Amino acid sequence: MALLSKPNEKTESGFSPIPVIDISDPESKHALVKACEDFGFFKVINHGVSSELVSVLEHEAVEFFSLPASDKTQVAGYPFGYGNREIGRNGDVGWVEYLLMNANLDFGSHSFFPGLFNNPETFRNALLEYTTSVRKMTSHVLEMITDGLGIEPRNTLSKLVSDKNTDSIFRLNHYPPCPHHINTNTNTNGGNNVIGFGEHTDPQIISVLRSNNTSGLQINLADGSWISVPSDPSSFFFNVGDSLQVLTNGKFKSVKHRVLANSRKSRVSMIYFAGPSLTQRIAPLSCLTDNEDESLYKEFTWSEYKNYAYHSRLSDNRLQPFER
Ligand code: GA4
């Protein structure tokens, strides 16, 4: 029996309210803007990212996670490296193991974990090709959003994340099947649910997730309820991050999300967190505010925000100190 929370009625009856956006159709720009306003979350189809690239990387990820624990802990580290159960450095835990990497400089800073892989270059190449393709899709989505908002030039948002030296992160998560009797205690949300990854918003501009066919991801709706996101390995899921909430002066909401563990199946997800450069100033776009008084947030640099975020707990409202 699965440990998932009572499934959402809407998804149980086969209907999910999560917006599905065909990004090969330029007219989807309006639906995209609406999805960012209403949910801060949407699913993307006709995205042009090769399924072959996705499978190769997923295969590498599965191989990595199936290594003996003693091998994986050789590359443990923070903020980058392998982690098991502990999330961040401020007391959060979950039923998850992961590999966090700096996606800058062609992943060169990771020296590809000498001794861990039979062929480290296969893993690195898979990461490079996958993230290059996902970065391109992300820029396209941000350009459609900019168009939909009526902002010029089109690259106003995409330029913040399109350079491969911007501060972007890549994360591989493995949620092993979680036996019934395990209870992470401080991190349960009542009942018998085991938290894989506790509720949080992402600090960056936008995040792009792909998972295998195991459910578990949930998003928080405007009315405070949680709904399950049906898994779909052939699509990508995007979520608005805190920085995009600020850039749009609160028009878009950074969506709270979490992952619940599954008692039977492993969940493997890969997430690209598109962030700006460390020195990038983040403030509401002037074209979205008539004058400075309308701005809901104080200006900050990404490096200031990131530093603050990395000292917070997962479920904290990280934008609150930056509100006016
Ligand atoms: C959430 C989004 C990304 O996964 C992440 C996470 C980071 C981490 O896992 O180290 C954080 C979390 C995330 C926000 C608050 C801090 C930092 C864990 C945590 C408790 C890599 C990121 O950039 O911020």
Minimum-distance ligand 1 atom for the alpha carbon of 204: 23
In this prediction, residues 78-94 reach a mean pLDDT of: 95
Nearest residue CA, atom 2 of ligand 1? 202
pLDDT at 181: 56
The lowest-confidence range among 112-126, 134-148, 159-173, 287-301 is: 112-126
* Cα of 17 vs its chain's centroid, Å: 19
Q: How far is CA 103 from CA 159, 160, 168, 310, in A?
A: 17, 15, 5, 18
pLDDT beyond 80 at 97: yes
pLDDT beyond 70 at 6: no
Nearest residue CA, atom 13 of ligand 1? 202
In this prediction, residues 252-260 reach a mean pLDDT of: 98
77 close to ligand 1 (CB < 6 Angstrom): no
Centre of ligand 1 to C-alpha 1, Å, is 30
273 close to ligand 1 (CB < 6 Angstrom): yes
pLDDT at 263: 85
Of 65, 11, 67, give the one whose Cα is nearest residue 267: 65
CATH topology of domain 10-322: Jelly Rolls (2.60.120)
pLDDT beyond 90 at 86: yes
179 close to ligand 1 (CB < 6 Angstrom): no
Predicted confidence band of residue 311 (pLDDT cuts 50, 70, 90)? very high
CA–CA dist 199, 184 (Å, integer): 14
pLDDT at 5: 39
Q: What percent of the chain has pLDDT over 70?
A: 90
Site to substitute for ligand 1 among 82, 87, 269, 271, most atoms within 8 A of C-beta = 87
Of 136, 163, 174, give the one whose Cα is nearest residue 60: 174
Minimum-distance ligand 1 atom for the alpha carbon of 169: 21
Centre of ligand 1 to C-alpha 177, Å, is 23
pLDDT digits (tens, 9 = 90+) for 11-57: 545 689 999 999 999 999 999 999 999 999 999 999 999 999 999 99
Going across the sheet that includes 195-200, the strands are 195-200, 257-260, 217-220, 226-228
pLDDT beyond 80 at 240: yes
Nearest residue CA, atom 16 of ligand 1? 310
The lowest-confidence range among 91-105, 116-130, 236-250 is: 116-130
Nearest residue CA, atom 14 of ligand 1? 314
Predicted confidence band of residue 107 (pLDDT cuts 50, 70, 90)? confident
pLDDT beyond 80 at 243: yes
Site to substitute for ligand 1 among 238, 242, 243, 273, most atoms within 8 A of C-beta = 273
- Specify which residues 218 forms β-bridges with: 228, 258
CA–CA dist 82, 101 (Å, integer): 9
pLDDT at 286: 92
pLDDT beyond 70 at 4: no
pLDDT at 292: 75
246 close to ligand 1 (CB < 6 Angstrom): no
171 close to ligand 1 (CB < 6 Angstrom): yes
**Under 8 Å CB-to-CB from 201, ≥6 apart: which residues?**
241, 242, 254, 255, 256, 257, 318
267 counts as catalytic = yes
310 close to ligand 1 (CB < 6 Angstrom): yes
The mean pLDDT value of the chain amounts to: 90
CA–CA dist 152, 131 (Å, integer): 27
pLDDT beyond 50 at 69: yes
256 close to ligand 1 (CB < 6 Angstrom): no
Nearest residue CA, atom 7 of ligand 1? 88
145 close to ligand 1 (CB < 6 Angstrom): no
pLDDT digits (tens, 9 = 90+) for 185-230: 443 333 347 999 999 999 999 999 999 999 999 999 999 999 999 9
pLDDT at 180: 66
Q: Which of 267, 313, 318, 324 is catalytic?
A: 267
pLDDT at 114: 67
The lowest-confidence range among 113-122, 183-192, 223-232, 287-296 is: 183-192
pLDDT digits (tens, 9 = 90+) for 141-178: 999 999 999 999 999 999 999 987 899 999 999 999 98
